[in-house]
Structure 1
């Protein structure tokens, strides 16, 4: 179908918020013939957010504000713009849209900021254009854009398999408190996987379920969760950025229940006993000068949601 043209007046606006994530567990199998690695990962959405605002436009355009905004491409390679175009094509919509991203999730930090943008853009454009897509349709579009994008829609806590895009909600009790050590210089996901292949070799074991971690979440046991944190890409990230070892050590010395590189890095996630303890870990990371920025957050939180639409 083709929706009718709408008023391009500035009063129309839809704002959507989507969270970043931390991989509590990330198990990676050897690269398969198609070039992809099979994954089993446990995602937790955390309270570091990307806001995407959709407003009327003749074509498709994008602006960005917030920390590291200058590092975000605003051309057709941007994942949020790709999401808008994909939804328009799928729903048969001829209208354009301007997207503005207000960033808080680190760029190329292993916390899925770009994927959060894409998830937020899908939901924002669906609401802005009145396309009326189902959650299943939005999920399918999200999966075509990237393996972390579907989780940006779902949020909370989930197990991802396949390439990480086949999601199953995970039972999680309680609230978890995090300190994140962020580097201005990101790590390329492709480079980290290449380093993983070189380190692990063809005999790398396939991914396995993380029962200890899932039991800790279902019990709401932060101490057990800290012990169960695991990331098979961590050694590869350390190979590319050896100074991450000092960041990990500072967080451990500050009494973190568990410390792990988030996703493909270089962000380091440290689990605190409480909100106050997470702030204390953040203070230790800041004082040691082992991060360019330090954030604190809680999880789990919901996935992409419409804040305002007019």
Structure 2
């Protein structure tokens, strides 16, 4: 029996553009994504030789613990790829609210995939790992790379690390509620009339080249913003409050409903956090 403990960080999309729908139903995106320095799920993976079942437990009500769980799916894909199995007991302690646009399930899946590959002596190369990850979840490949920031393209499988991307103070507020990925993309297919327009400015490419907070601000953008705001109008209220208390830029992460604000310094973001926590005591609020 061997046990590996892993931390699975949250993510935010500083910029997220949906630019095409593929014939297979997936969408081509452009995004700059950051890993959190403060928000993590904690996962223990115990490898068992007495059985070859995948057993999952989670402390967050509503997270599936059967074959529908991303960790179960990705472990199964890995075993199929290498032609071997081992028993897994996976315990997930959640800090990242599910289905809120900050990558909890995807990060968990990537972390379990890395742990299993470590157990088997790193049998798969980077391309093989990305292929497994992309088949299970389109955000998962991002979490396989080490860099803090990355430019993501394709349907999520193309990940290019961004070196020396500036670290800036970020506050996130999750107003509660969930936005399912199929529904969100369906809304864009119906309403985002300029999705396929080649004349669109490449916000992601511009953002990936910046060096300062001032350079960053104009390129904080998300195509899902209007969809999320229609479903959860409180998003606009939170964004206005963030701006009122010093945020230089605000947006949503992923498909939402999580809102984030970017601040000039730690002192300003800490003051904003205290104010927001007092106003919204039931919401998940954290420095990023």
Q: Which of structures 1 and 2 has the larger relative contact order (alpha carbons within 8 angstroms, sep 6+)?
A: 1
Give a deviation string over 1:223-244, Cα, whole Å, max 9, x none.
3213320001111111111221
Q: Which residue of 2 aligns with 1:270?
A: 261
Q: Which residue of 1 aligns with 2:234?
A: 243
**Contact 2:150/2:162 (<8 A) preserved:** yes
2:192 is the counterpart of 1:192: no
Gaps of 5+ in 2: none
Q: Which residue of 1 aligns with 2:10?
A: 20
**Contact 1:86/1:141 (<8 A) preserved:** yes
Specify which of 202, 207, 221 is matched with residue 209 of structure 1: 202
TM-score norm. by structure 2 comes to 0.90
Secondary structure of 1:40's match? strand
CA root-mean-square deviation: 2.0
Specify which of 6, 12, 28 is matched with residue 38 of structure 1: 28
Secondary structure of 2:11's match? strand
Distance change (3 Å), C-alpha of 1:17 and 1:152: same
2:96 is the counterpart of 1:105: yes
Distance change (3 Å), C-alpha of 1:158 and 1:296: same
2:139 is the counterpart of 1:148: yes
Distance change (3 Å), C-alpha of 1:184 and 1:266: same
Secondary structure of 1:198's match? helix
TM-score norm. by structure 1 comes to 0.84
Q: Which runs of structure 2 are paired with 1:1-310 in the superposition (5 Å)?
A: 8=1, 12-47=2-37, 48-57=39-48, 58=51, 59-65=53-59, 69-130=60-121, 132-154=123-145, 155-201=147-193, 204-206=196-198, 208-210=201-203, 211-216=205-210, 219=211, 221-289=212-280, 292-297=283-288
Secondary structure of 2:113's match? helix
Question: By how many angstroms is 1:249 displaced?
Answer: 0.7
Secondary structure of 1:73's match? coil
Q: Distance in 2 between matches of 1:175 and 1:42?
A: 13
Give a deviation string over 1:65-105, Cα, whole Å, max 9, x none.
3xxx1121111010011111111121122321111112222
